[in-house]
Structure 1
Amino acid sequence: MQRRVLCFDAHHDTVLSKAPGNGISLGAMHFPILASLVLATILSSTAAPAADTAVDLALVLAVDTSGSVDGGEYALQMDGIAAAFRSPDVIAAALSGPHGKIAINLMTWGDPDEKKYDTGWHVIASKQDAEDFAKLANTDLPREGGGTGIGIAMSYGIALLRHAAFKASRQVIDVSGDGHESWELREPHFKLPQAQALRAAAGVLVNGLAIVNDEPNLEEYYRNNVIGGPGSFVISVANYGEYAEGIHRKLLREILPPLSMLEIPLSATPSATE
């Protein structure tokens, strides 16, 4: 599996680093300077390869691996994602757009001061492509645990989209998690309000999947603080045992452009051809 790391070095205040030596030194900057620097790096970076491939959707699946998520719950998330990309209706949706393909990157996130891991971008243009990506999900990325750094996770997702080597008709980050954003001890803080400013400037859509087993009001919190952009939405599941059904339903809403703002009954989706 192609495994990359997005570095966040709490000791040197480095964020949004795609590789060793390619980070942003934040130091003790206050937010106006911090936000301007991060925004300029994400939106003006020339590090992205030429966009030779056109896709209907570029989607970052941002999976919670914070300290509240145990090994079994993490496995349920990854298994649910793998199952979704093996389902005929999700495959058919992925191939149904004008370009006949989408691009997916699976990312794990946890404490704001810890590393983020991702699989790299994978274009899904066939049933075999979907199966290959499902196998990646089953392989498991590393987990860092710790606090719940949703704002930092969103900013990493924006960076991944910015550096993608293709042109996407739509850019979406799919954030799933089981808790509110936790308080960050280090300064300057980079939390959801700052991430939302970056999201709006980048033209990225953020949707949410709230796992409400520990926090019953989490769906409302995601709706008010996490999601953003025209047509953005949040769905909730009662526990990790329902994650597979939830991510399946959510992916269908995200992948099918004409229905992206509607609830989609699973029985009403297309079937993939062999």
Structure 2
Amino acid sequence: MPPIFRLLLVGLTVIAAGHAAAQVSRGDAPVDMALIVSVDVSGSVDQNRFALQMGGIAKALSDPEVIAAMLSGPRASIMFAMVDWSEQAEAAIPWTRIASREDVLALAARVRRTPRPEGEFTCVAHMMRFVSDLILPTLPVRAQRVVMDVSGDGVDNCDGDDATARMRDALTATGMTINGLPINAGDPAEPLGGGSFRAPGRPFQPRTFEPKMLEPWYRKYVIGGPDAFLLPAHGYGDFDRAIKEKFALEISALPAVLAQFAQLHEAGRP
């Protein structure tokens, strides 16, 4: 186990001991955090890649370290929602309270059963608008923190960089943290191919965008807010590892762990 995750596990053990008796009722009781998992289902994500993402999220949710993180806060509960997105976004799993191991396992089973919707474009700004308009306003309880976890294998090819940055800034202005999980389906040292913007439902626009590197694009246009960080997956086969580490880090939100992780990633970033 890497040293940073040994530190995480020790921290969670201490917190769990301090809150062992903290059982909250369900209903409208506040939660420690609200987590939105936002999953790319655009044309580059075939059924196999979609299954790898759903399986990875389900396995990560069921991991003992992640369960400990979910249940170790002062309120011993979190809210969870999952959004699938391409040119359209949908609430694949609406807000669901997690307050016990049984809740987590039931949620993981539900994630595994999620069907893949049809999609073609990579519309990050569209997804953020959907979250702003239809996910955040429907959060049924007060949460100490709101975090969105965005994963995908491409840059926005609907509305472009500026629109994505504007929507990111609008969301982080509410206090939300947006973390990124770019999936390097190719060589991360090579730029993504060029192409043309064609926003869904609008005529073809013959203006090309410059080739971009996925991780730097996520860092510049997607992540933001308090303690935001980037954790890439080295291909879809590495998604299991990346999403587990990411959940453990962002759900625990232990300042020492996040600070060390940020320093390590900054030192090795492209």
Which bracket does the TM-score occupy, shorter chain normalised? 0.7 to 0.9
Judge conservation of contact 1:178–1:214 (CA < 8 Å) in 2. no
Provide the aligned C-alpha RMSD in A: 2.0
Determine which of 132, 136, 139 is the counterpart of 2:113: 139
Residue in 2 aligned with 1:25? none
Asked if 1:261 is matched to 2:258, the reply is: yes
Determine which of 68, 74, 86 is the counterpart of 2:62: 86
Change over 3 Å in CA distance of 1:180–1:58 after alignment to 2: same
Question: Unaligned regions of 5+ residues in structure 1, if any?
Answer: 1-50, 265-274
Determine which of 202, 213, 219 is the counterpart of 1:223: 219
Judge conservation of contact 1:235–1:246 (CA < 8 Å) in 2. yes
Q: Which moved more, 1:147-156 or 1:92-101?
A: 147-156
Shift of 1:142: 3.8
Shift of 1:215: 6.3
C-alpha distance in 2, partners of 1:55/1:198? 23
Judge conservation of contact 2:180–2:223 (CA < 8 Å) in 1. yes
Asked if 1:99 is matched to 2:75, the reply is: yes
Judge conservation of contact 1:115–1:144 (CA < 8 Å) in 2. no
State the SS of the aligned residue for 2:180.
strand
State the SS of the aligned residue for 2:231.
strand
Change over 3 Å in CA distance of 1:263–1:153 after alignment to 2: farther
Judge conservation of contact 1:60–1:106 (CA < 8 Å) in 2. yes
1:36-59 CA distance string (max 9 Å, x none): xxxxxxxxxxxxxxx922100101
C-alpha distance in 2, partners of 1:66/1:215? 20
Judge conservation of contact 2:95–2:139 (CA < 8 Å) in 1. yes
**Residue pairs, 1:165-176, within 5 angstroms:** 165-176=140-151
Aligned AA (1:207): N
Residue in 2 aligned with 1:68? 44
Determine which of 116, 123, 135 is the counterpart of 2:97: 123
State the SS of the aligned residue for 1:227.
coil
Determine which of 202, 207, 214 is the counterpart of 2:174: 202
Shift of 1:261: 2.2
Aligned AA (1:212): N
Asked if 1:150 is matched to 2:146, the reply is: no
Aligned AA (2:221): N
Shift of 1:118: 2.3
Question: Unaligned regions of 5+ residues in structure 2, if any?
Answer: 1-26, 189-212, 262-270
Asked if 1:178 is matched to 2:178, the reply is: no
Q: Which moved more, 1:223-232 or 1:135-144?
A: 135-144
1:247-268 CA distance string (max 9 Å, x none): 000001110022462456xxxx
Shift of 1:195: 0.6
Q: Which moved more, 1:225-234 or 1:192-201?
A: 192-201
C-alpha distance in 1, partners of 2:66/2:168? 28
State the SS of the aligned residue for 2:121.
coil
Asked if 1:239 is matched to 2:213, the reply is: no
Judge conservation of contact 1:93–1:256 (CA < 8 Å) in 2. yes
Divergent runs of 4+, >3 A? none
Scaled by the length of structure 2, the TM-score of the pair is 0.73
Judge conservation of contact 1:58–1:102 (CA < 8 Å) in 2. yes
Relative to its length, the structure with more helix (as a share) is 2
C-alpha distance in 1, partners of 2:63/2:260? 18
State the SS of the aligned residue for 1:117.
strand
Change over 3 Å in CA distance of 1:79–1:222 after alignment to 2: same
Scaled by the length of structure 1, the TM-score of the pair is 0.72
Change over 3 Å in CA distance of 1:201–1:119 after alignment to 2: same
Task: State, as a whole percentage, how many aligned pairs show the same letter.
Answer: 35
Change over 3 Å in CA distance of 1:263–1:109 after alignment to 2: farther
